[in-house]
Structure 1
Amino acid sequence: MQIKTRERSDSKLAWTLLLPSIFLLLLLVAYPMVSNVQISFFDQPVNARLSATLVGLENYKDILTDVEFFKSLGITILYTVLAVGGSTAVGLAVALFFNRPFKFRKTARSLIILSYVTPSISLVFAWKYMFNNGYGIVNFLGGDVLHLFDKAPLWFDNPVSSFILVVLFAIWRYFPYAFISFLAILQTVDNTLYEAAEIDGASLWDKFKIVTLPAIMPVLLTVVTLRSIWLFYMFTDVYLLTNKVNILGIYLYQTAFAFNDLGKASSISVILFMILFIAIMIARKRVNLNGNG
């Protein structure tokens, strides 16, 4: 009886402590999501004093028949795949290199994460300065020093070069997240496993495939999943760098605030959520089927 009373008391205390967090989640996450889905079925005016008009699935129909939406979707998928793959690969390679003692290792680690903790506007300004056609260091080295081109290219005014640069920017800026995650898990791997594999005649690739990859697989899945979510909804970096790469974040922003069509913008966000949710569920299922999740 005393044990049951204590358990009931602990349960009440737990709920009391959790209620503020639950309230905040409902207020800041659940309510905006439900409200967004609701708005997607209306022709919602920007002026809050005007009443909204119920249009049903008309917003979804307009989006799914808009060629520009599918162009933006294709660009966004390609951007996400390249940026996530590149930042994950670079982060893993740097983590493998740093997973050993050497002089000034702590200082080097601190320098590596600078691009991740620095505000976006500062990094974007630096990149636009480097690729400026008049006084940028890239055009100076490529044209005046190495003579790779006669006329300085307008890097951020060309759709192809702009896309390449925003992908490189994403890889450079976000690989420290993968680096920190992989380095943390690599330091937990028992060195005797590598020694045993080396005694058996395993090459560097064999040791990576047999020992390292299974150990980092849970972290690898988490890094790829989270980074895919963040980059699929990317807006700030690309918007500040160029107006030539129309990813979905920019397409949504223009729909909502340039054309003042909040209902259609809400339907875009719902569609994006469904696409991303399905893709992540399929990826996790495949990993689990392979026995690596």
Structure 2
Amino acid sequence: MKTIKRGKSDIKLAAALLFPSVFLVLLLVAYPMISNIQISFFDQPINPRLSATFVGLKNYIDILTDPAFIKSLGITLLYMILAVAGSTALGLAVAIFFNRPFKFRKIARSLIILSYVTPSISLVFAWKYMFNNGYGVVNFLGGDVLHLFDKAPLWFDNPVSSFILVVLFAIWRYFPYAFISFLAILQTIDSTQYEAAEIDGASAWGKFKIVTLPAIMPVLVTVITLRSIWLFYMFTDVYLLTNKVNILGIYLYETAFAFNDLGKAASISVILFIILSIVIIAARKRVKF
């Protein structure tokens, strides 16, 4: 009888300890999601005193048939793929280079992660300053020093150059996350595995494919998955850098707060959630770890 009472008391204690966390998750995650799905079926006015009008699937149909949404989705997917691939590859390359002892390694490691821990507004200001057509260092070096162009380009006023710079900014800004993750797992790999592969005549690429890649695969999948989610919903960096790259985060913001259409904005977020969930589930099923 005492054992049963102790078991029941343990369950009650566990429930009491878990309740605050469960309550916060329901309050901050579940309730907003359900409320957002509900709003997506209504023509929701900004003024809370005005009543909403039920429109059914009209918001979803309008969004899915809007050429601006399709174009924005394509730009976002391209931005996400290039930025994730670039930041992951660069982070892995730098991690492999740092996975050995050398002088001032700790200082160099600290300098690398600066771009990741520095506030976005500071980095955006620095980039806009560097590419300013009047006094930017990039135009000074490219035009006055190297003579690559006669007239200073308006980097952030052109859609193509703006997109390229936004992708480069994302790669430079977020590769330290991949670097830290890969370096941590690389330091757990036994050096004797590389020695055995070298004895078998494996090249540098062979050692990477046979030893390194299987060891880092769980981390690689996690990094790609998390970074894809973050960049798919990116808003701040692109919005602060330029108004010429209309990714979905900006499209959603303008729909909600420029056109005051909360119903369509809610339907956009639901559609994005479904798309991203399908992509991530499909990608993770292809990788066994």
| TM-score bucket (shorter structure) | over 0.9
Residues 33-85 of structure 1: CA distance to partner in whole angstroms, max 9, x if unpaired? 00000000000000000000000000001001100000000000000000000
Cα distance in structure 2, aligned partners of 1:200 and 1:14: 54
1:41 equivalent to 2:41? Answer: yes
Task: Please name the residue that 1:13 is paired with.
Answer: 13
Q: Segments of 4+ in structure 1 off by > 6 A?
A: none
Q: CA deviation at 1:10?
A: 1.9
Cα distance in structure 2, aligned partners of 1:254 and 1:183: 40
Cα distance in structure 1, aligned partners of 2:103 and 2:6: 55
Residues 173-216 of structure 1: CA distance to partner in whole angstroms, max 9, x if unpaired? 00000000001111111111111111111111000000000000
Give ranges in structure 2 of 5+ residues lacking alignment.
none
Q: Summarize the alignment of residues 82-101 of structure 1 with structure 2, pairs less than 5 Å apart.
A: 82-101=82-101
**TM-score normalised over the length of structure 1:** 0.97
Task: Please name the residue that 1:143 is paired with.
Answer: 143
Task: Please name the residue that 2:259 is paired with.
Answer: 259
Residues 237-262 of structure 1: CA distance to partner in whole angstroms, max 9, x if unpaired? 00000000000000000000000000
Task: Please name the residue that 1:224 is paired with.
Answer: 224
Cα distance in structure 2, aligned partners of 1:112 and 1:2: 58
Task: Please name the residue that 2:213 is paired with.
Answer: 213
Let me know the Cα RMSD of the aligned residues.
Answer: 0.7
Task: Please name the residue that 1:122 is paired with.
Answer: 122
Cα distance in structure 1, aligned partners of 2:110 and 2:2: 54
Cα distance in structure 2, aligned partners of 1:6 and 1:125: 60
1:158 equivalent to 2:126? Answer: no
Cα distance in structure 1, aligned partners of 2:11 and 2:183: 38
Task: Please name the residue that 1:52 is paired with.
Answer: 52
Comparing 2-11 and 85-94, the one that deviates more: 2-11
Comparing 99-108 and 38-47, the one that deviates more: 99-108
Task: Please name the residue that 2:268 is paired with.
Answer: 268
Q: CA deviation at 1:15?
A: 1.3
Cα distance in structure 2, aligned partners of 1:150 and 1:4: 85
Paired-residue identity, %: 84
Q: Supply the AA of the counterpart residue of 1:196.
A: A
Task: Please name the residue that 2:198 is paired with.
Answer: 198
Cα distance in structure 2, aligned partners of 1:2 and 1:162: 70
Cα distance in structure 1, aligned partners of 2:142 and 2:236: 28
Cα distance in structure 2, aligned partners of 1:115 and 1:102: 22
Q: Supply the AA of the counterpart residue of 2:29.
A: V
1:234 equivalent to 2:234? Answer: yes
Task: Please name the residue that 1:103 is paired with.
Answer: 103
Q: CA deviation at 1:3?
A: 3.2
Q: Supply the AA of the counterpart residue of 2:220.
A: L
Cα distance in structure 2, aligned partners of 1:48 and 1:237: 31
Cα distance in structure 1, aligned partners of 2:86 and 2:10: 48
Q: Supply the AA of the counterpart residue of 1:279.
A: V
Task: Please name the residue that 1:171 is paired with.
Answer: 171
Residues 124-147 of structure 1: CA distance to partner in whole angstroms, max 9, x if unpaired? 000000000000000000000000
SS in 1 for 2:273: helix
Residues 111-133 of structure 1: CA distance to partner in whole angstroms, max 9, x if unpaired? 10000010110000000000000
**TM-score normalised over the length of structure 2:** 0.99
Q: Supply the AA of the counterpart residue of 1:134.
A: G
Task: Please name the residue that 1:80 is paired with.
Answer: 80
Task: Please name the residue that 1:4 is paired with.
Answer: 4
Cα distance in structure 2, aligned partners of 1:6 and 1:119: 50
Q: CA deviation at 1:275?
A: 0.3
How many residues are paired up? Answer: 289
Residues 83-116 of structure 1: CA distance to partner in whole angstroms, max 9, x if unpaired? 0000000000000001111111111111100000
Give ranges in structure 1 of 5+ residues lacking alignment.
none
